[in-house]
Amino acid sequence: EIIFGVSDPEDAAIPVVRQLMDDFPELEIQLVVCSQFRGANYKISNLIQMLPLARHPYVLVNDSDICVGPHYLQQVMSEFQDSRVGMVTCLYRGISGKTLGAKLEALGISTDFIPGVLSARQLEDGIRFGLGSTLAFYRKALESIGGFECVADYLGDDYELGRRVAAAGYVVALAECVVDHHLPDYSLSNYLRHQLRWARSMRDSRPRGYAGLFLTFGLAWAILGIIVAHPAAWAWSLLALALVFRFAMAFTVGVGVLKDHQLLTQFWLIPVRDLIGVGIWAASLTGRRIVWRGNQFTLENGKLRP
In order of their start, the domains of the chain are 34-305 (3.90.550)
CB 108 within 8 Å of CB 273? yes
Residue 292 has pLDDT above 90, yes or no: no
Grade residue 202 by pLDDT with cuts at 50, 70 and 90.
confident
Grade residue 134 by pLDDT with cuts at 50, 70 and 90.
very high
Grade residue 71 by pLDDT with cuts at 50, 70 and 90.
very high
Cα(199)–Cα(283) distance, rounded to whole angstroms? 9
Q: Per-residue pLDDT tens for 230-285?
A: 888 999 999 999 999 999 999 999 999 999 999 999 999 999 999 999 999 999 99
Q: Whole-structure pTM over 0.95, yes or no?
A: no
Reported as type and span, the H/E element at residue 11 is none
Tell me the backbone φ, ψ of residue 99, rounded to 5 degrees.
Answer: -80, 155
Arithmetic mean of pLDDT over the chain: 94
SS3 136: strand
213 vs 181, which has greater pLDDT?
A: 181
CB 130 within 8 Å of CB 158? yes
Cα(69)–Cα(3) distance, rounded to whole angstroms? 19
Integer-rounded Cα Rg, in Å, for the chain is 21
